[in-house]
Amino acid sequence: MSYYKHHIFFCLNQRDNGEAACAQHEAQAGFERCKARVKAEGLAGVGGVRVNKAGCLDRCAGGPVAVVYPDETWYTYVDAEDIDEIVESHLKNGRVVERLLLAPDVGR
């Protein structure tokens, strides 16, 4: 058994040169919402979920992005309701949120 069942990494990267970056799309708010919801649902900690900040995940064109491991599931999201759905469906109940999946060909 691994230490955590799931890690979810949120790209919080900011670029100063004007190129696309997740920070331009309220990524910090998504991270904070997820961290709060995971804690409120009792999912945080050993054997549960760890919510992490990340630098560039190199999928900027789909930003903001988050990835769930070990499931290798990439998400894009728009608002707090999307984050709530990822927490409830995927992190709590193990069901991928198909409508929020980042297309596999989306890169930088």
Asked if 76 and 63 count as a contact pair (C-beta separation under 8 A), the reply is yes
The answer to whether position 108 is within a domain reads: no
Q: Which residue range(s) make up the domain with 17?
A: 6-100
Residues (pLDDT < 50) of the chain are none
pLDDT at 19: 82
- What the block records as the tokens of 23 is 């920070």
pLDDT at 36: 98
Cα gap 23→14, rounded to integer Å? 5
Q: For the stretch 35-45, what's the b/e string if a residue is b when 16 or more beta carbons lie within 10 angstroms of its beta carbon?
A: bebbeeeebbe
pLDDT at 20: 85
pLDDT at 85: 98
The answer to whether position 60 is within a domain reads: yes
The answer to whether position 57 is within a domain reads: yes
Cα gap 50→55, rounded to integer Å? 16
The answer to whether position 107 is within a domain reads: no
pLDDT at 2: 81
Cα gap 8→82, rounded to integer Å? 14
